[in-house]
């Protein structure tokens, strides 16, 4: 994808996501800054902030768990290299702790694919599996939304017993809901 194509795709993804009633009502959204070939999230992050939504972004911990910090605009990000892994853009400010995500009304999740059941295929590090388990232990049920390209919505992905379906997938062309979530 050219940089212009990537920007256009990110803007389309933001437009579709902002149509979600869950995001219209949300006071706090746990999100992430896209990296590499992931669909762009920067336009969505800025649009949420413009709506006065509190946006939490993850910071990768050494054990692959996630801490959280607040996104207050592009200047609040720091590029962090985690060993040989891809560099991530993380919140530069104060850390709020791994449990901060339990206060989110919506959790936006990265992924490689989602299937017809709403099962999300992650990158294999287990970071978001820990987040989802933390939400369950806390007894909270934020809306879970994965952000993907249209071609990443597939018929079937492998799932394990601990995997949970997401409520919806947002792609640049639209939204698909999963009633079994």
Output the CA angle 111-114-119, nearest 5 degrees.
Answer: 105
Neighbours of 125 (CB within 10 A): 13
Residue ranges of the binding site for ATP: 120-128
Residue ranges of the binding site for substrate: 33, 38
Helices 3-18 and 42-50: crossing angle, nearest 10°? 40
The C-alpha atoms of residue 131 and residue 64 are separated, in whole angstroms, by 11
The C-alpha atoms of residue 46 and residue 50 are separated, in whole angstroms, by 6
Residue ranges of the binding site: 33, 38, 120-128
């Amino acid at each position: 994808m050219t940089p212009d194509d990537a920007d256009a795709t990110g803007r389309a993804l933001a437009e579709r996501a902002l149509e979600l009633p869950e995001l219209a009502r949300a006071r706090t959204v746990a999100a992430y800054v896209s990296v590499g070939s992931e669909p762009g999230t920067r336009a969505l992050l800025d649009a949420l902030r413009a709506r006065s939504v509190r946006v939490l972004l993850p910071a990768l911990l050494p054990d692959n768990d996630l801490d959280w910090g607040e996104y207050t605009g592009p200047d609040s990000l720091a590029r962090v290299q985690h060993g040989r892994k891809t560099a991530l853009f993380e919140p530069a400010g104060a850390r709020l702790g791994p449990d901060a995500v339990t206060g989110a009304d919506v959790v936006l999740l990265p992924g490689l694919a989602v299937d017809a059941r709403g099962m999300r295929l992650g990158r294999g590090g287990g970071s978001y599996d820990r987040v989802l388990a933390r939400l369950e232990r806390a007894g909270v049920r934020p809306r879970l939304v994965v952000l993907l390209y249209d071609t990443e919505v597939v018929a079937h992905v492998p799932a394990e017993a601990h995997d949970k379906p997401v409520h919806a997938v947002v792609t640049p062309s639209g939204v698909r809901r999963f009633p079994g979530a």
